[in-house]
Amino acid sequence: MADEGVSMKASMTIDLEFVVGEVDDRIFGSFIEHLGRAVYEGIYEPGHPSADSSGFRGDVLDLVKALKVPLIRYPGGNFVSGYNWEDGVGPVADRPRRLELAWRSVESNEVGTDEFIRWAHLAGAEVNMSVNLGTRGPDEARALIEYCNHPAGSRWSDLRISHGIREPYGIRTWCLGNEMDGPWQIGHKTAYEYGRIATETAKVMKWVDPTIELVACGSSYRSMATFPEWERIVLEEGYEHFDYLSIHSYYGNQEDDIRNYLAKSLDMDAYINSATAICDYAKAKSRSSKTVNLSFDEWNVWFHSLELDKKREPWLVAPPLLEDIYTFEDALVVGCLIITLLKHADRVKIACLAQLVNVIAPIMTKKGGKAWRQTTYYPFMQASLYGRGTVLNPAISCPQYDSKDFSGVPFLESVAVHNADSGELTLFAVNRSTEEELELTAKLRGFENHRLVEHTVLTNPDLKAVNTESKENVYPSNCTTSELEAGNLHAKLPKLSWNVIRMSTTPAA
């Protein structure tokens, strides 16, 4: 560990040739589940002053649009494993109210498939649709894809048309159930049972629409007792039918140990490496020429609301569940997690920040009142805006530390993204040190005509600082001390900070 009081130094080389892979824009996806106040009182609140004629809140939509989320997973999550999609289409007055067993709530079905897809399109996003493989199976899944993607002339496509939607939605990415390895899941299955039903469902869905891509459930956590055997068995059952393997992970600071908390992205890194290896093992075993990539379709910080939610009254419509209020330190962890996802751009093609509004979300709302940005909104937004292009793995030399669960944790967590179209090179960097500023020297290789566009910093003296409806305490500000001269970037990264350093360049002739 670096000595207290001594300025810490780090050096890196960013080379145009150190390519990890192209960023699939869907890595900046998110997630809306019928859970708590995500849909009702979140994206949808008829009567709210900003609501449109369909009941969608305009203020929430604006905050979502600013994130440039390209893909939104829907309708669950645990919810999907008990969901009858037919309940949520057609005249709203005829839709049933149902007991929703995953979250012990009442689902009014006011918002369903058509309303949600319409909202997602207003937000500029495609939908990543999940099918129910908990209480249901291939038959309902083939009906739903026929409803969504078949042009006309069949029972379910004509039903869609009778609801006023003439053109098929053309939904490309579909999840084959959710977290089917978890005993908490409605219709939990063994790996073999899930592998079989996912394979048979995949077959009929692709027979209806061969252009779709399918995501098979991997593990809900890296610490699940069934990981990684679950993945092996599932992939061996249906390798040729699956395009992505899904993995999920949430992190928290229950022990209030900031050094260990900031290191938890190393767990995500190890999880991605293992899941990738299992995909490749299954590829080898099935003698396939096709590569199954990863969909990290639930990731975030989730711990603040866990105890409170155990005491919630059941069977309410839109109860305030999973309403984590994020702190400055959570924003730093989200920054480290985003950097980790980017570092694996070659194999992580889809990722969904779980979730988007009110439920473990970057956006919060008050019923009848304001919508506001949580601390975590900013690193996610900046990565989404500036993290598109080609990921370059910087060669980094920096001091390391050991924490309770991790050894060799680099004080500097960083990745670079080069966008050939805009000519912009962006460096994302977290200084994990609780004590020291980090003096960074980065040498740019393979670029010329360098210019520093901006260096923004998210930092705060109070690790527990939060944003509220009335006051934003955590947001990025400009740092004016950085310099880019003769291909060398000199920047000072404050202790405990998320940094976005944007440079304009052209590749060297």
Catalytic center residues:
179, 298
Residue in 42, 77, 137, 389 binding ligand AHR, rule: CB under 6 A: 77
**Shortest Cβ distance from residue 360 to ligand AHR (Å)?**
6
Using CB under 6 A, which residues numbered 229 to 288 contact ligand AHR? none
Report DSSP letters for 410-460, one per residue.
ESEEEEEEEETTTTEEEEEEEE--SS--EEEEEEEESEEEEEEEEEEEEE-
Stated as kind and residue range, the H or E segment containing 113 is helix 113-122
**Shortest Cβ distance from residue 346 to ligand AHR (Å)?**
26
E strand spans, 207-360: 213-217, 244-251, 293-301, 348-354
Give 78 or 219: the residue with its C-beta nearer to ligand AHR. Answer: 78
Stretch that binds ligand AHR, among 6-14, 74-82, 142-150, 370-378 (CB under 6 A): 74-82
**Cα distance between residue 114 and residue 143, in whole Å:** 15
Please count the residues of the chain: 509
The token duo for 144 is: 């739903």
**Shortest Cβ distance from residue 446 to ligand AHR (Å)?**
41
Closest residue to ligand AHR, judged by C-beta, is 77
Residue in 38, 71, 78, 282 binding ligand AHR, rule: CB under 6 A: 78
By CB under 6 A, residue 33 contacts ligand AHR = yes
By CB under 6 A, residue 297 contacts ligand AHR = no
Tell me how far the alpha carbon of residue 197 is from its chain's centroid.
26
Stretch that binds ligand AHR, among 54-62, 71-79, 200-208, 459-467 (CB under 6 A): 71-79
The token duo for 240 is: 């040729």
Stretch that binds ligand AHR, among 60-68, 73-81, 197-205, 330-338 (CB under 6 A): 73-81
Give 73 or 142: the residue with its C-beta nearer to ligand AHR. Answer: 73
Residue type, 224: M
Give 334 or 412: the residue with its C-beta nearer to ligand AHR. Answer: 334
The token duo for 436 is: 């020291």
The token duo for 227 is: 């990981």
Q: Which residues of 366-394 are buried (b: 16+ CB within 10 A; e: fewer)?
A: eeeeebbbbbbbbbbbbbbebbbbbbbbb
Give 277 or 306: the residue with its C-beta nearer to ligand AHR. Answer: 306
Question: Is the Cα dihedral 268, 273, 278, 280 positive or negative?
Answer: positive
Using CB under 6 A, which residues numbered 356 to 395 contact ligand AHR? none
Site string for ligand AHR, 124-153 (x = CB under 6 A): ------------------------------
Tally of CB atoms within 10 A around 2? 17
Give 76 or 134: the residue with its C-beta nearer to ligand AHR. Answer: 76
**Shortest Cβ distance from residue 184 to ligand AHR (Å)?**
7
Q: Cβ(393)–Cβ(492) under 8 Å?
A: no
Stretch that binds ligand AHR, among 70-78, 163-171, 205-213, 234-242 (CB under 6 A): 70-78
Site string for ligand AHR, 213-232 (x = CB under 6 A): -------x------------
**Cα distance between residue 180 and residue 194, in whole Å:** 7
Give 103 or 242: the residue with its C-beta nearer to ligand AHR. Answer: 103
Stretch that binds ligand AHR, among 72-80, 129-137, 207-215, 303-311 (CB under 6 A): 72-80
Residue in 24, 126, 298, 324 binding ligand AHR, rule: CB under 6 A: 298
326 Rama sector, left if φ>0, alpha if ψ -120 to 50, beta otherwise: beta
Give every CB contact of residue 308 below 8 A, 6+ residues apart in sequence: none
In degrees, rounded to 5, the angle at the alpha carbon of residue 490 between the alpha carbons of residues 488 and 495 is 150
Using CB under 6 A, which residues numbered 160 to 219 contact ligand AHR? 178-179
**Shortest Cβ distance from residue 469 to ligand AHR (Å)?**
23
Q: Cβ(119)–Cβ(56) under 8 Å?
A: yes
Partners of 67 in the β-ladder: none
Report DSSP letters for 47-62, one per residue.
TSTTB-TTSBBHHHHH
E strand spans, 145-198: 173-176
By CB under 6 A, residue 355 contacts ligand AHR = yes
Tell me how far the alpha carbon of residue 438 is from its chain's centroid.
29
**Shortest Cβ distance from residue 402 to ligand AHR (Å)?**
30
**Shortest Cβ distance from residue 35 to ligand AHR (Å)?**
6
Give 74 or 386: the residue with its C-beta nearer to ligand AHR. Answer: 74
**Shortest Cβ distance from residue 190 to ligand AHR (Å)?**
18
Give 33 or 436: the residue with its C-beta nearer to ligand AHR. Answer: 33
Give 134 or 399: the residue with its C-beta nearer to ligand AHR. Answer: 134
# of chain residues touching ligand AHR (CB under 6 A) = 10
Per CB under 6 A, residues contacting ligand AHR are: 33, 76-78, 178-179, 220, 298, 354-355
